[in-house]
Amino acid sequence: MVALSARYAAVALGVAGVVLGGGAVAPGGAGAAAAAGPGTGWSIVASPNGTRFGDNTLMEVSAGSAASAWAVGYTGGAGTFRTMVQRWNGSRWAVVPSPNVSSLDNVLSGVDTVSADDAWAVGYANRATSRGLFHRSLIEHWNGSTWRVVPAPQAGTEDNDLWAVTALSATNVWAVGNENVGRFTFRPLVQHWNGRAWTLVRVPSPPLTGTGASLFGVAAASPRDIWAVGGYDTGTRFQPLVEHFNGDRWTIIPAPVAGSAVLNRVSLLPSGTGWAVGSRGAGPHARALIERFDGRHWTAVPTPQVPGSSGLVDVLALTPHLAWAVGSYSARPGANRTLIEQWNGHAWRVTPSAGPRPSSELLGIAGTPQHLWAVGDALTNTLILLRR
């Protein structure tokens, strides 16, 4: 499934990220993709779990050097999820204490770093009200020694979810997600940090039909060139939602795709060109989707033929001739395999990647051309891959 309801329900039920539906054998064979190790460039790095019982999932990663990186997600069982933050100190990954504001679910889904003493993580916390249980925006900040909750404005009285964050400076941070306007119909949600407080920023929305519209990813080429991506329900199918901030206002930018499709994350180069990834179709017919922005238009580009269903959850643009995308594929439901694709300047190709059986997936990627991290989960365990 590629609908907002699928992603929303996925985390609520303890399955990280987008429900990709799985995929099948990547070029080179399932064995090559599942058993890839040091000789292929990508290898599994030891990462701790937050608990021995329940789920341990890393949903996003931020890394600026070989000696420092953050990964965030959640740990525990549905209804009692706790935030999980892990830090790479140049030699190992370790869990770093992070706040939980609810006795129910607390989930971190996005992270970005300004400096060694300035990082942001966003997600949601489940709160009980007189009207029922609702997700409320959760924002946490790293000040160089501790992660602390920062007050987050709430849109309306029902669900507020934050899925992604991009930090341009200490006084310019953006977070995106969705607001439930009633009966699980969502509209895009954007929040902005100006160095003193977070505020709600009203952004345009497509007509709210069915499950409505949501933003899942955000990235910036400059303070006056910011993109957010997601999807919206037309009533008969889902379509990519792409919004752009030019320094003054947000506008919806056309990015039509034949059939049903949604975009999960976006990554930009300083030039303003970039990539967005997601999936098209549903269930066993889902296929990875990659769109390219050439400076003027968003267009879908050819992706590798992967038998079965597949989907991409995150993308990293490094140079005009190098980009990476991660997700999963599966030959049958419930048996995901990690999927990594590389842009070489001419075409996207599947590259072998490690992934423990019987099921594993990648949900985030970050780093430099010389040092890359990809994170996700392997059943109930955290999963971190390194390429250097």
Confidence of residue 333 (pLDDT cuts 50, 70, 90): confident
At 222 the pLDDT is: 97
**Partners of 169 in the β-ladder:** 172
Instruction: Give the residue among 58, 36, 65 at the shortest CA–CA distance from 377.
Output: 58
Distance between CA atoms of residues 344 and 373, nearest Å: 18
Q: Is the pTM above the cut of 0.85? A: yes
Do residues 135 and 152 make contact, with C-beta atoms less than 8 angstroms apart? no
> b vs e for 322-359, b when ≥16 Cβ sit within 10 Å of the residue's Cβ?
ebbbbbbbbeeeebbbbbbbbbeeeebebbbbbbbeeb
In whole angstroms, what is the distance from residue 344 CA to residue 290 CA? 14
Number of neighbours of residue 172 by Cβ within 10 angstroms: 16
Strands (E), 223-321: 225-233, 238-245, 250-252, 261-268, 274-280, 287-293, 298-300, 309-319
pLDDT digits (tens, 9 = 90+) for 107-125: 999 999 999 999 999 999 9
Q: Out of 3.40.920.10, 2.120.10.80, 3.40.190.10, 1.20.1070.10, which CATH number does the structure's domain 4-387 have?
A: 2.120.10.80
Q: How does pLDDT run across 262-291, given as a tens digit for each residue?
A: 999 999 999 999 999 999 998 888 999 999
- pLDDT on residue 283: 84
Question: Would you call 40 helix, strand, or coil by DSSP?
Answer: helix
pLDDT tens-place string over residues 136-178: 999 999 999 999 999 999 999 999 999 999 999 999 999 999 9
Q: Decide: 280 and 260 in contact? Cβ < 8 Å.
A: yes
pLDDT band at 338 (very low <50, low <70, confident <90, very high): very high
- Which strand (E) or helix (H) includes residue 10? helix 4-12
Q: What is the pLDDT of residues 67-104, one digit of tens each?
A: 899 999 999 999 999 999 999 999 999 999 999 999 99
Determine the Cα–Cα distance for residues 328 and 24; give it in Å rounded to an integer: 9
Boundaries of every domain in the chain = 4-387
Over residues 13-26, mean pLDDT = 30
